[in-house]
Amino acid sequence: MVKAKTVAAILVVVLVVIVGLAFFVVRLPSPPPPKFSLLSWKVEPQFNSEAVLSIQYEVSGDVPGDSIYFQLLRPTGTTAYHETPILTGTVNLRMSGVSTPEPGRYRLTAVPYEHRGQIMFEREFSFSGAKISIENCTPTWDSYDSGYWLKEIELTLVNEGDLPVVLPNRPAEMFYRGPIWVKVDDVGVVVASSEVLIQGWLVTYEGIGRAFESEQAAKDFKNQQYGDDPRAEVTAQELRESGGYNLWLACGQRIRLSCRLIAPWQYLVTTSESAPEFQPGEHSLRVGINITPQEALPKESIGEHRATIQVP
């Protein structure tokens, strides 16, 4: 009887040893490491006048802390941050504030929020910058004293670059601070910012506007960007804006503007000079985008257009 108990005890000890060894030798599989997939990306301006890198992504596997930390290093050396618990979705990382994004290299990094040394994803984006051109300049003339003055000019702006650009447009009371400058025979003709006409469809959100060539394109953008938010509106074409908008021109976008110029009787008030007048015949025309809005006729500009025009 004693011998049987001894054998049973030995068997129990052996069984415990075997189970213990099995526990150390055969380990449970560890959860798979997180895997980050970049589904799509684009650069676009937002309602608050910030250009963003918008990315769609999904993450599988075990993410420590169940939260992702995004970083976007800009060419200027500054960094945009964003933390989200959403493992599949869209995130917008600021490329600039109320200004055109700098060309150059941007580096995107995604890491688990609680283990920031563990890089799940890293990619570099390189941009050459906005490339603005002006098309289809059509002047309108009106008689004045012994000649003619340039009353209005219609033009089309095109951004063929890979970054959006913001066109400065200052308050209406500052007549000479519009986004466009004009010279006829190298004589400056001042644009009135309060008379900029956006031809197309405008999506506005809390005072910021973005123009589209068709109503459907404007509605699609509104629905995608703002959904049913009542603060977002789509306005019909030929809206005269009061100079309060920063006009964004997105990558590949084309908008039409009709700019009224300062009338002859306004020149002495705004420029302390007599209004320029022109005689019938051929004249040279130069039009550009004003990137120094504090100056009536800037020394620096982009997208300059030259043409020969007929007066009247």
On the question of pLDDT at 194 being above 70, the answer is: no
- Integer-rounded Cα Rg, in Å, for the chain is 31
Average pLDDT over every residue of 102-128: 91
Q: How confident is the model at residue 141 (pLDDT cuts 50, 70, 90)?
A: very high
pLDDT of residue 237: 57
Q: Residues 41, 44, 50, CA angle at the centre, nearest 5°?
A: 125
Task: Give the start-to-end residue ranges of the domains of the chain.
Answer: 35-127, 132-200+238-311
DSSP label at residue 161: S
Of 62 and 129, more confident: 129
Of 202 and 169, more confident: 202
Q: How many CB atoms lie within 10 A of CB 4?
A: 8
pLDDT of residue 168: 64
pLDDT digits (tens, 9 = 90+) for 29-46: 666 778 899 999 999 887
pLDDT of residue 96: 86
The CATH number that domain 35-127 falls under is 2.60.40.150
Lookup: tokens for 125: 């984006």
Q: Which one, of 59, 52, 83, lies nearest residue 70 by Cα?
A: 83
pLDDT digits (tens, 9 = 90+) for 53-104: 999 999 988 887 778 999 999 998 999 999 888 888 899 999 987 778 999 9
Residue 200 in contact with residue 161, Cβ under 8 Å?
Answer: no
Of 240 and 301, more confident: 301
Q: Whole-angstrom Cα distance, residue 246 to residue 273?
A: 29
pLDDT of residue 140: 92
Summary mean pLDDT of the chain: 78
Q: How many CB atoms lie within 10 A of CB 91?
A: 19
Q: How many CB atoms lie within 10 A of CB 65?
A: 12
pLDDT digits (tens, 9 = 90+) for 67-77: 899 999 999 89
Give counts: helices (H), strands (E), the chain.
Answer: 3, 21
Most confident of 156-170, 215-229, 254-268: 215-229
CA distances from 75 to 20, 108, 125, 300 (A): 57, 12, 10, 23
Q: Whole-angstrom Cα distance, residue 181 to residue 168?
A: 12
Q: How confident is the model at residue 193 (pLDDT cuts 50, 70, 90)?
A: low
pLDDT of residue 56: 93
On the question of pLDDT at 162 being above 80, the answer is: yes
Cis check: omega of the bond before 312, within 30 degrees of 0: yes
Q: Which one, of 286, 12, 288, lies nearest residue 150 by Cα?
A: 286
Residue 110 in contact with residue 35, Cβ under 8 Å?
Answer: no
CA 68 to centroid of chain Cα atoms:
24
pLDDT of residue 173: 44
Q: How confident is the model at residue 7 (pLDDT cuts 50, 70, 90)?
A: low
pLDDT of residue 1: 56
User: What percent of the chain has a predicted confidence (pLDDT) above 90?
Assistant: 23
Q: Which one, of 178, 136, 132, lies nearest residue 156 by Cα?
A: 136
Residue entry with tokens 């992504």:
57
Helix boundaries (H) for 130-241: 215-226
Residue entry with tokens 């030259």:
306
Question: DSSP assignment of 239-300, as one string?
Answer: EEP-S---EEE-TT-EEEEEEEEPPHHHHHHHHSSPPP-B-SEEEEEEEEEES-TTSSS-S-
Most confident of 83-87, 193-197, 210-214: 83-87
- Region at 200 (left for phi over 0; alpha for psi -120 to 50; beta for the rest): left
pLDDT of residue 175: 47
pLDDT of residue 53: 94
Q: Are strands 68-73 and 104-112 parallel, antiparallel or unpaired?
A: antiparallel
Please tell me the class of the 132-200+238-311 domain: mainly beta
Specify the 3-state DSSP secondary structure of 110. Answer: strand
Of 213 and 253, more confident: 253
Q: Whole-angstrom Cα distance, residue 102 to residue 96?
A: 8
pLDDT of residue 57: 94
Of 245 and 139, more confident: 139
